[in-house]
Amino acid sequence: EMQLLESGGGLVQPGGSLRLSCAASGFTFRSHAMSWVRLAPGKGLEWVSSISGSGGNTYYADSVKGRFTISRDNSKDTLYLQMNSLRGDDTAIYYCAKGFPLRVAGFDYWGQGTLVTVSS
Amino acid sequence: DVVMTQSPLSLPVTLGQPASISCRSSQSLLYSDGDTYLNWFHQRPGQSPRRLIYNVSNRDSGVPDRFSGSGSGTDFTLKISRVEAEDVGVYYCMQGTHWPLTFGGGTKVEIK
């Protein structure tokens, strides 16, 4: 059974850092691009970042570019999101999702999410 | 960025009755390869999103056939033929034709 399990969320002060992880199982992780999508309170879903299967190509929304870094360890079947210079509007549930559906199918599997709260 | 506009924002429905959600894009979602990359997702309260439909009208495995997607160009529709209690939650459309990926604001479906 395919599973995605996020961890690493929590409460952090503005300007702080946090690293999220997403452990994958049940599919050939290295063969698939992976993404992070977030859901802020009272708002809709927002694509945050994606990475190719090899890790050689990364993509970011303008709202996080220069502050967040996506990476992956295919030997551990794990996806990461390093979040620096966090702001209040980064408060959200962060989901990892399988795929990067730019002109292909994707986002067919999602994790349960991890909550990030940025507040002093 | 392509703006995805959903309507209505809130949709009270009666069990067993049909429901329809509209999604309009600010640019055509038809790509040069002939495909249209429009997806529909459903998020129940307290759960993660689930993809229902990809490429306008292709239902995902396990999705009941009461769900159907249609449309072309800039106008798309998700229809539920007979609403069941488990269909409550927020529905999102998402385009994958243009960079960056963008979602609609969501339509909240609730039972009357």
Convert the pLDDT of each residue in B1-23 to its tens digit.
999 999 999 999 999 999 999 99
Distance CA A21, CA A8 (A): 6
Nearest chain A Cα distance for residue B68, angstroms:
17
pLDDT value of residue B65: 96
Give every strand in the sheet of B4-7, ordered side by side. B4-7, B19-25, B75-80, B67-72
pLDDT value of residue B39: 97
Q: What is the pLDDT of residues B57-110, one digit of tens each?
A: 999 999 999 999 999 999 999 999 999 999 999 999 999 999 999 999 999 999
Give the mean pLDDT of B46-65.
Answer: 97
**Which residue of B lies nearest to A111 if distances are taken between CA atoms?**
B48
pLDDT value of residue A78: 98
Give the mean pLDDT of B38-56.
Answer: 97
**Could you say which DSSP state residue A89 is in?**
G
pLDDT value of residue A24: 98
**Which residue of A lies nearest to B30 if distances are taken between CA atoms?**
A103
Q: Do B51 and A107 count as a contact with CB atoms less than 8 A apart?
A: yes
Q: Do A107 and B103 count as a contact with CB atoms less than 8 A apart?
A: no
| Coil/strand/helix, residue B75 | strand
pLDDT value of residue B102: 97
Beta bridge partners of A58: A51
| pLDDT by 10s per residue, chain A, length 120 | 999 999 999 999 999 999 999 999 999 999 999 999 999 999 999 999 999 999 999 999 999 999 999 999 999 999 999 999 999 999 999 999 999 999 988 999 999 999 999 999
Residue B55 has pLDDT above 90, yes or no: yes
pLDDT value of residue B18: 97
List CB contacts (< 8 A) between B101 and chain A: 47, 101-102
Q: Do B37 and A111 count as a contact with CB atoms less than 8 A apart?
A: no
Distance CA B13, CA B81 (A): 12
Of A101, A111, A113, nearest to B101 by CB-CB distance is A101
Nearest to A60 by CA among A6, A100, A97: A100
Let me know: does B76 contact B66? Beta carbons within 8 Å. no
pLDDT value of residue B21: 98
